[in-house]
Amino acid sequence: MSIQKDLSYGPVTISVPAGSQSKRLDQFLQAKFPSYSRSKLQAFIKQGAVTVNEKIVKPSYAIVCEDIIVLELPSEHHRKIEPEAIPLEILHEDAHLIVVNKPAGMVVHPARGNWSGTLSNALLHHCGTLSNANGDPGRPGVVHRLDQYTSGVIVSAKSDEAYYKLGQQFEHRTTQKEYLAITDGEPESNEGEIDLPLGPDSQNRLLHAVRLIGGRRAITHYEVQERLGGYAFIHVRPKTGRTHQIRVHLRSIGCPCLADFAYSERSEIRASDLGLEGDSILIKRQALHAFRLSIDHPASGDRMTFEATLPEDMKTTLEVLRRRASSERDGH
């Protein structure tokens, strides 16, 4: 994929790399620019703001290897990302990639309402440069994402080689992502697989829901680590990578992530919510942590596994739930 040198101003140019799966132009662009809806990108294409091999085409055009796509993005996508000296917990770094433990609350890359303080701002300050091979100046080095309030392991590409090869691994599902969650409710089975299609929520376009008709297949494997008297500590392995997949799937079995403001009834958990004295807040974001990621190194091919320790808010909440469950078992 060849990209023009300065993406901060002027049109974005993308050369479709060899090995890319055939897909519609509008689908291809939405994967590159997720802050835009597919309908808006279709409108750009119909208006002639997108050309392929210097020709105006339809949104349904099937891209092929070495197609040259030129897209004149709206001005907000040309906004230059400024490096910011934000502390990072670095798990691994080399010439090709950097792996960090993203804290809850940090947005991965700038978007509407979050133009600074993002992981991309921090990485640009630390690394100097990141891969621009994705064709989006607003998402340097981004090969996958975590929700703003989900903590844990995330990898970014420093070199274009790393971007291509890591991107293929995520696309072909050869990576292994593992999460830890505290749920509001206990699954009936100690282990299981949720195989339910997902799509945009018809009532709220910012959320997702199980969509038996028109949804995209999504599979999540879970295993209960501890039962905690109406709550549970769960190990989760998503086999697909749909938006909000784990959060929606856990809700679908009656066990949403604890304190998930979007998919549960409570946006924070206080000590008093668990029948304890005091009103201190234990956790005020979804109790979901990406604790382990396994990838093949893009240069050496070696399998590498990275782990991020459980954050303090989830540790504290677990300790309180364990004491509460123990007390209930002892009849106190």
| Residues 253/194, Cβ–Cβ less than 8 Å | yes
Q: CATH for 79-171, among 3.30.2350.10, 1.10.3720.10, 1.20.1090.10, 3.30.465.10?
A: 3.30.2350.10
Question: Other C-beta atoms within 10 Å of 188: how many?
Answer: 10
Of 248, 220, 253, 245, the C-alpha closest to 235 is: 220
Which amino acid appears at position 208 of this protein?
H
Rounded-to-integer distance, Cα 235 and Cα 255, Å: 13
What confidence score (pLDDT) does residue 73 get? 62
Length of the chain: 332
Report the alpha-carbon angle 208-153-324, nearest 5.
Answer: 75
Question: What's the topology of domain 176-329?
Answer: Pseudouridine synthase (3.30.2350)
Walk along the chain (332 residues) in steps of 10 and give the mean pLDDT of each run.
Answer: 37 78 85 76 81 86 88 61 95 98 94 83 95 78 94 97 93 96 98 95 88 93 97 97 96 98 93 84 97 98 98 96 87 64
What confidence score (pLDDT) does residue 104 get? 98
Report domain extents, the chain: 12-77, 79-171, 176-329
What confidence score (pLDDT) does residue 1 get? 36
pTM, two decimals, is: 0.79
Task: Please enumerate in sequence order all residues whose Cβ is within 8 A of that of 60, keeping only pairs 6 or more positions apart, or say none.
Answer: 24, 25, 26
| Residues 232/186, Cβ–Cβ less than 8 Å | yes
What confidence score (pLDDT) does residue 256 get? 98
Q: Which of 147, 184, 260, 313 does the annotation list as catalytic?
A: 147
**Fold agreement (79-171, 176-329):** yes
State yes or no: is 160 an active-site residue: no
Could you tell me which CATH class the domain 12-77 is placed in? alpha beta
